[in-house]
């Protein structure tokens, strides 16, 4: 009925090992589901916690054989390198400060890497990863998962095709409410590390969700940020990282924008929303209702494009699994990043050049995101002044 992607991908499954994502974690399970949806991957190994005992217990719980439930990522890299059926790619789902060490080690050992965002805790660290990618020639995928939503692909394609004319305005926001109270003092593991500069880096909401909004804005519009001016704040004196960010943006070519990221806005769950306006029309999309894309061509009735429905084109179609009116969600969007990664990794298996239309966030996006964070923190520290990115 829908000309979307099939689950008959033909090649053998890509063997992956996971770093982090054990008992009590959240995003690890998301990655595992995303990897399974299209049957492109098989989890064969894990170093699922920084605590060796917990790492091993978590691996057994997930059904890994004892010898591939490793106590550390170093052991995993070594153990898997020595197997004929060893893993081909490493998935990194640790807190931010633990991205760079396993990523660089994995790349150096010749593995592909799929890494959660933000890339690292500093531009310096990010650039070190980028250098390792360059040296290794391996595939590196940064899971800015929102880029995987079909209607985001549709928006990107429409803008690239000039349907909005030159872009003038970009209004991006990502609002949540889970840090409205001092959640980090209540035993919430997520809140603990995300409000801790030692584990998160210099950005709080900025790194956790601000970079998502920023990445999405750039991904959809194809614009590059020139400079920003940031007003960062936190609701409690005891909280050292930002929980609310008000940012002005200027893009190369003249477009301007605003970005609002907040974790203290009651009633907002994952309110990631993007509005883009050009000379000839506008687009509006909200992550919580991701199967819809508003297109407002100037001087014509507003149009609601639905995923897979009339007006939804090939770029959305290739990351679509079910017919229009059957909603796809967060996990499918995430799975689309994995599906694109699979094409690239399979291409690398055979030395085949990857199709031009394989689209996923790379280490370059990760470095860019770290520069965004660094510039915003500096702008704020210097009294809310414009900073080049």
269-328 residues near a second copy, rule: CB under 8 A = 269-271, 275, 277-282, 284, 287-291, 294-306, 309-311, 321-328
Comparison of 7 and 124: residue with beta carbon closer to a second copy: 7
Near a second copy by CB under 8 A, which window of 96-104, 261-269, 343-351, 352-360? 261-269
Near a second copy by CB under 8 A, which window of 35-43, 120-128, 218-226, 351-359? 35-43
Comparison of 130 and 213: residue with beta carbon closer to a second copy: 213
- 267 interacts with a second copy by CB under 8 A: yes
Comparison of 127 and 192: residue with beta carbon closer to a second copy: 192
Comparison of 222 and 325: residue with beta carbon closer to a second copy: 325
Q: What is the largest CA-CA distance in the chain?
A: 65
Comparison of 62 and 103: residue with beta carbon closer to a second copy: 62
Least distance CB 210 / a second copy (angstroms):
14
Q: Given candidates 244, 320, 336, 380, which one binds a second copy under the rule CB under 8 A?
A: 244
- 204 interacts with a second copy by CB under 8 A: no
To the nearest 10°, the Cα dihedral for 293, 270, 251, 220? -40
- 246 interacts with a second copy by CB under 8 A: yes
Quick one: DSSP state of residue 121? S
Neighbours of 241 (CB within 10 A): 23
Least distance CB 330 / a second copy (angstroms):
4
Question: Crossing angle for the helix pair 150-160 and 330-350, nearest 10 degrees?
Answer: 70
Touching a second copy, residues 75-114 (CB under 8 A): none
Neighbours of 63 (CB within 10 A): 8
Query: Judging by beta carbons within 10 Å of its beta carbon (0-12, 13-18, 19+), is residue 166 exposed, middle or buried?
Result: exposed
Going edge to edge, which strands form the sheet with 167-175?
A: 292-297, 281-286, 271-278, 167-175, 256-262, 244-251, 225-233, 387-388
- CA distances 78 to 59, 81, 82, 108, Å, are 17, 5, 7, 12
Comparison of 75 and 163: residue with beta carbon closer to a second copy: 163
- 157 interacts with a second copy by CB under 8 A: no
Q: Given candidates 10, 137, 187, 351, which one binds a second copy under the rule CB under 8 A?
A: 10
Question: Crossing angle for the helix pair 73-81 and 100-108, nearest 10 degrees?
Answer: 10
Least distance CB 133 / a second copy (angstroms):
29
Number of residues that bind a second copy (CB under 8 A): 94
- CA distances 236 to 166, 241, 246, Å, are 41, 10, 17
Q: Given candidates 136, 211, 221, 268, which one binds a second copy under the rule CB under 8 A?
A: 268
Q: How far apart are CA 6 and CA 359, in angstroms?
A: 18
Near a second copy by CB under 8 A, which window of 95-103, 117-125, 212-220, 268-276? 268-276
Comparison of 21 and 102: residue with beta carbon closer to a second copy: 21
């Amino acid at each position: 009925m829908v000309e979307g992607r099939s689950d008959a991908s033909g090649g053998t499954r890509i063997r992956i090992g996971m770093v982090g994502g054990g008992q009590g974690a959240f995003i690890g399970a998301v990655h595992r589901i995303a990897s399974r949806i299209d049957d492109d991957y098989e989890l064969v190994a894990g170093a699922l916690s920084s605590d060796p005992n917990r790492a091993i217990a978590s691996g057994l719980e997930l059904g890994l054989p004892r010898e591939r439930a490793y106590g550390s990522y170093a052991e995993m890299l070594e153990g898997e390198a020595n197997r004929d059926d060893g893993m081909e790619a490493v998935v990194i789902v640790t807190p931010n400060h633990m991205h760079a060490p396993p990523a660089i080690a994995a790349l150096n050992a010749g593995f592909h890497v799929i890494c959660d965002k933000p890339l690292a805790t500093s531009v310096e660290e990010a650039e070190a990863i980028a250098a390792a990618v360059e040296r290794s020639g391996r595939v590196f995928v940064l899971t800015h998962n929102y880029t995987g939503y079909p209607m985001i692909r549709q928006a990107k394609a429409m803008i690239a095709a000039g349907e909005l004319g030159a872009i003038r305005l970009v209004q991006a926001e990502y609002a949540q409410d889970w840090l409205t109270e001092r959640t980090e003092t209540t035993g919430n593991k997520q809140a603990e590390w995300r409000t801790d500069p030692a584990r998160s880096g210099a950005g709080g909401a900025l790194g956790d969700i601000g970079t998502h909004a920023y990445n999405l804005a750039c991904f959809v519009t194809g614009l590059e940020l020139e400079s920003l001016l940031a007003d960062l704040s936190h609701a409690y004196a005891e909280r050292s990282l930002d929980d609310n960010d008000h940012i002005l943006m200027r893009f190369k070519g003249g477009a301007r924008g605003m970005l609002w990221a907040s974790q203290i806005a009651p009633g907002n769950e994952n309110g990631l929303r993007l509005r883009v306006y050009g000379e000839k029309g506008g687009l509006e999309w909200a992550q919580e209702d991701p199967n819809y894309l508003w297109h407002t061509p100037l001087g014509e009735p507003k149009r609601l494009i639905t995923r897979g429905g009339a007006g939804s084109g090939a770029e959305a179609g290739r990351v679509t699994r079910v017919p229009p009116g059957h909603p796809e969600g967060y996990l499918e969007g995430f799975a689309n990043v994995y599906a694109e990664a699979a094409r690239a990794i399979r291409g690398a298996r055979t030395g085949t050049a990857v199709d031009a239309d394989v689209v996923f966030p790379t280490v370059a996006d990760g470095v860019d995101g770290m520069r965004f964070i660094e510039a915003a923190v500096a702008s704020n520290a210097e009294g809310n002044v414009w900073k080049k990115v």
